[in-house]
A and B are shown apart, each in its own frame.
Chain A
Amino acid sequence: MEAYINGIGITSPQKTVEQDGFLSNVVEYSSDYMKCVEPAFKNYLSPGFSRRMSRILKLSLVAAKICLNEVKIEKPDAIITATGLGCLDDTEKVLNSILENNESFLSPTSFIHSTHNTISSQIAIYLKCHSYNLTFSHRTFSFESAILNCMIFLTENSNVNVLIGGVDEITPTLFDIGCKSIYKKIPKSNLDMLKEKTRGAYAGEGMAFFILSSKKKNNCYAKISSVETIYNPDDVYSVELKIKNTIDRTGLTIENIDAVMLGLNGDSESDCYYQAIMNSLFKDKILLYYKHLCGEYFTSTSFALWCCANIIKQQFVPPILKMNNNQDKPINNILIYNQFKNKNHSLILLQKC
C-alpha cells in the first residue's frame, strides 16, 4: 500500500500560508505557547459561510482549500480527518455555560460544533462532497490512523484522491490545565527547545491537509510507503524491531534511510525515550526535529509530514530543522518517528518518487 502526496495546505505557528521559501523566515516565540499565524480569512472564506465558525474550523478550512487548489481538485473521493482533542474552544464554551448558568442558556452553535467530526463535515458541506468521510481521534495515533485508513481506501478504489488532515488547537484553558502535566511555558525562545533539560513540552497547534492519491501527479512531493503505530511496547528493543520491520516491508533496509525526523519536544522526561534509538539504529543518519517550530499537539506529525514532503521535493533541508551536522546528501527516504509517554510510538516512511 502506498500513497502519493500531490498537494498540501497548512496553517501553523510558522509562515506556512502564502509562504515565501521553505522555512526561510522562521517565527520565534517567547510567549506561553505557539499559535497559528492566521491568514486573512476573508481572502478564503465568505463571511456568511464562516460567521459561526470557531478558529479551528476556519484555519482548517483555509488549509483544506489551499491543498485542494494546489491539485485543482474540487471534490476529493474521500475526506479523512484526524484530531486528538477536537474543537476545544466550542467544547469549553459549552462546559462553561453549563457550569456557570446552571445548565441554562446554552448556545446551540457551540454544542453543534463541539463534536470531533465537525471539521470533516464542514469541509464536506463547503465542497458539497458526498464521499466517504471519517474522523479519527486517538491521541498521537490520530493522524497515523487516518493515513492507514486512506491507504486502505486507495487500495479498495482505483485512481482516487483523498483529502486527509491533522488538526488540533491550543486554547488558554488547555494550556493552563496542560501545564500541570505535559506543558511548560516558553522561557526565552522556542528555538532553544533542546538546550533546556527541564520537564514539560512547548504547547502548539496546527492544521495540515494533504491530497493523497493512487497515482503520482506532476507536482508530486513524495510517497508514503509505510505507516505504523506501536502501542505500549515492552521495551526499546521491541520498538527497534518494529522500526526495522516497517522499513523491511517496503523493500528497503535501515541503511537506505537518509534522514530521521524525530518528535523530540524538549521534555526531559519524554525525550529520553528517543536517545537509545538515536544511538543505535539512527547513529549515522541526518537527524531532524520539528516541534520547536509547531509545538507539541496530538496531530503534530502532520506538520512533520509537511516538512519532510518538502525536503524530498526540494532536496533541501532548512538548517532550522537539523539536529546534527551529518553531511548533506540526496534525501530519498525519510522516517518520521514520534512517541507520546512511551506508550504511543508512530512511524511514517516517506520516499522520493
Chain B
Amino acid sequence: MQERVFVTGIGAITGIGKNTVEIFNSLLSEQSGIRSISFLDTIHKDEIPICEVKAMNDELHELAKTSLKSSFTRTALLGMIAAKEALTNSCIQNLSEKRTGLISATTVGGMDKTEQHFKDYINGNKYNDFVCSHDSGDSTEKIADYLGIKDYVSTLSTACSASANAIIFGTQLIKHGILDRAIVGGTDALTKFTLNGFNTLLILTKEKCRPFDQNRSGLALGEGAGYLVLESKKSIEDDNKNIICEITGYGNACDAFHQTATSPNGYGPYLAMQKAIEMSGLNSNQIQYINAHGTGTPNNDLTEGKAIERIFSRNIPYISSTKGYTGHLLAAAGSVEAIISCLTIKKNIIFPNLNFKEPMKDLSFSPTNRIINNVEVENIMSNSIGFGGNNSSLIFSRC
C-alpha cells in the first residue's frame, strides 16, 4: 500500500521577494520583478531584461546568517535561504526523529563562481575553494549541511524541469517507504554563462515577457530557489501537522524531438500531462487551474498550448504563466511555480498571466490576465517543459 504525500512547508527566494510572504504580496499587487540588469557584470547590461534576486551575495550571507568568508556560491546561498524557510514553515522541530532527505535540482550549480575564477584555475593561480563548488552536488550538500540533513541527499539536472523532477523523486521516496519526509526543490543563480548561452539561441526577449501573447518575443531569465517539505500521511498524523495540499499525480515524459525546441504538436508535454492526470484518478475537467510553463517563446507557448488543447479540448480551465513575474528560473522554475500553485490553493487566488494583450491566433484559449479572488481551486496542474525534451507535470490537490 503506497503512502500518500502531502506538502507541509514552502520556502522561496526570487526576483519578486526574498521569502514566500514577499512573493505573495508581489503576486497580489501584480508587480513583476523583471528589470534591466543590476548586479550581474555583463556587456548586456542595458540590453536584456532579467529578474535578479534583489540582493548581492553579501546580503544573501546576512539572510542565511553565514560568514562572508565562507565559500558558498550564489546558487548555494539562494538554496539555503529558501530551504530553511520551507523547513521553518513546516514546523519540523527534530530532523533526526524521522527519515528525512533532501532532493535538490540545479542547472548552473556553482557556475556563478566558476566563471569568475576560471582564468585563475587555468593559469595555475592559488588554489581556490570554489574549484570544488562547481559541480551540481555542491549546492545540495551545502543546503543539507546547513539544515542538518543526512538520511538521503541527491541532485537532479534536467534543465527547466529539474525541480519538478525533484518533487517527483521526493514523492516517490515517501510513497515507497524509503523516507518519511523530503525537502524538495531547486536553485539556480543567474550567470554570464546562461545569459550568453540563451542569447546566442535568440530566444531572450528584449521587451516584456508575454507568455501566450500573439506578439510574444521570447523569455526573460530569472534566478532564485524554491523548496517544499513533503511528508507521508503517518508523519503528519504523528505530529498533527497543518497541510498545505496533497501531491495526487505526476508525469514524466520525453519529447524526443529536438534539443531545444518542442515538437509542433507538443507530444512530450501532452504525455507528461496525461500521465499525471491518469495517476491522480481525476477527470481533466476536475483540474480548475493550470500553472503553465509558458516561457513567452514562440515555440514553447504554441506547443504547450496545443498539448493543453489536446488534453482539455473544450473544457480548458483557468491558465496562467507566472514567468511574467519571476522570469524563467531554469532548474528552480518547477518548484517555485509549485509553491505559487500552493499559494493559489491556500489563499483561493489565481494569479494572472502578466503582459497579455492579444490572443494567439493558433490557440483556442487565452490565459487569465487578471487576478481571480475567492476561487476554491480543488486541483492544480503545474507544467515544466525542459530543454532536451524533459517534460514533467505535477498535480496538487486541496485537502
Known: A137-B137, A149-B169. A232 touches B145 (CB 8 A): yes
Whether A95 and B43, one on each chain, are in contact in the complex, defined by CB atoms closer than 8 angstroms, is no
- Asked if B313 lies at the interface with its beta carbon under 8 angstroms from chain A, I say no
1/0 per residue, CB under 8 A from B, across A137-148: the answer is: 111011001001
* Partner-contacting stretch, out of B231-239, B255-263, B296-304: B255-263
Given contacts A84-B137, A122-B259, contact A133 B254 (CB under 8 A): yes
**Is the C-beta of A73 less than 8 angstroms from some C-beta in chain B?**
no
Per-position contact with B for A189-224: 1 when CB-CB < 8 Å, else 0?
000000000000000000000000000000000000
Encode contact with A along B168-190: 1 for CB under 8 Å, 0 otherwise: 01001100101000000000000
- Between A120, A121, A155, the greatest number of chain B beta carbons within 10 A of the residue's beta carbon is seen for A121
State in angstroms the CA–CA spacing of A141 and B156 once bound together. Answer: 11
Q: Is the beta-carbon distance between B122 and A176 smaller than 8 angstroms?
A: yes
Indicate if the CB atoms of A133 and B390 lie closer than 8 Å.
yes
Give the most central of A79, A104, A142: most B CB within 10 Å: A142
Q: For the complex, is B39 an interface residue (Cβ under 8 Å from A)?
A: no
Counting CB contacts under 8 A, is B158 at the interface?
Answer: yes
Taking a contact as CB atoms closer than 8 A, the residue among B107, B150, B198, B252 that contacts A116 in the complex is: B107
Considering the complex, which residues of chain A in the window 1-20 have a beta carbon less than 8 Å from any beta carbon of chain B? 1
Residues in A neighbouring B72, C-beta threshold 8 A: none
A138: chain B residues within 8 A (beta carbon): 136-137, 140, 153-155
Closest to A100 in B: B119
The reply to whether A115 and B159 contact each other, CB–CB distance below 8 Å, is: yes
Contact A127 B165 (CB under 8 A): no
Which one of A105-113, A283-291, A311-319 is at the interface?
Answer: A105-113
- Contact code string B234-276 (vs A, CB < 8 Å = 1, else 0): 0000000000000000001111111110000001100100000
- Which chain A positions have C-beta within 8 A of B152? 229, 231
* CB neighbours of B157 from chain A (8 A): 86, 115-117, 135-137
- In whole angstroms, how far apart are the Cα atoms of A111 and B194 in the complex? 8
Q: A128: CB under 8 A from chain B?
A: yes
Closest to B169 in A: A149
Say yes or no for A239: interface residue by CB 8 A criterion: no
Chain A residues, CB < 8 A from B253: 130-133
Is the beta-carbon distance between A103 and B192 smaller than 8 angstroms?
yes
How big is the A interface, by class?
35 or more
Q: Is the Cβ of B131 less than 8 Å from the Cβ of A136?
A: no
**Cβ–Cβ < 8 Å partners of B172 in chain A:** 149, 152, 156
Would you call A98 an interface residue if the criterion is a C-beta within 8 Å of the partner chain's C-beta atoms?
Answer: yes
A95 CB contact (under 8 Å) in B114, B165, B256, B389:
B114
Instruction: Point out which of B157, B159, B172, B201 has the most chain A C-beta atoms below 10 A from its C-beta.
Output: B157
Least Cβ–Cβ distance between B371 and chain A, in angstroms:
35
CB neighbours (8 Å) of B145 from chain A are 232
Which B residues touch A122, using CB under 8 A? 259, 388
Contact residues on B (Cβ < 8 Å of other chain), bracket: 35 or more
Whether B387 sits at the interface, judged by CB under 8 Å, is yes
Interface string of A141-178 (1 = CB under 8 A from B): 11001001100100110000000000000000100110
Partner pick for B158 among A127, A135, A141, A231, CB 8 A cutoff: A135
A114 contact set on B, CB distance < 8 A: 197
Q: Is B44 an interface residue (CB 8 A)?
A: yes
Partner of A127, one of B141, B169, B256: B256
* Residue from A104, A131, A136, A232 with most neighbouring chain B CB atoms (10 Å): A136
Given A125-B389, A139-B135, A231-B144, A98:B196 Cβ within 8 A: yes
Q: Is the CB of B387 within 8 A of A130?
A: no
B127-144 at interface with A (beta carbon < 8 Å) = 127, 131-132, 134-137, 140-141, 144
The 0/1 profile, CB within 8 Å of A marked 1, for residues 337-364 of chain B is 0000000000000000000000000000
Residues of chain A within 8 A of B193, CB atoms compared: 94-95, 98
Closest chain A CB from B177 CB (angstroms): 10
Q: Which residues of A contact B (CB under 8 A)?
A: 1, 79, 84-86, 94-95, 98-99, 102-104, 106-108, 111-118, 120-122, 124-125, 127-139, 141-142, 145, 148-149, 152, 155-156, 173, 176-177, 180-181, 229, 231-232, 298, 343
Q: Which 3 A-B pairs have the closest CB atoms?
A: A121-B388, A111-B197, A116-B157
Q: List 28 A-B contacts (CB under 8 A).
A: A99-B119, A102-B43, A103-B196, A112-B259, A115-B159, A116-B157, A125-B259, A127-B256, A130-B253, A131-B253, A132-B254, A133-B252, A133-B254, A134-B390, A135-B158, A135-B390, A136-B154, A137-B137, A138-B153, A142-B137, A152-B172, A155-B176, A177-B131, A229-B153, A229-B154, A231-B153, A232-B144, A232-B145
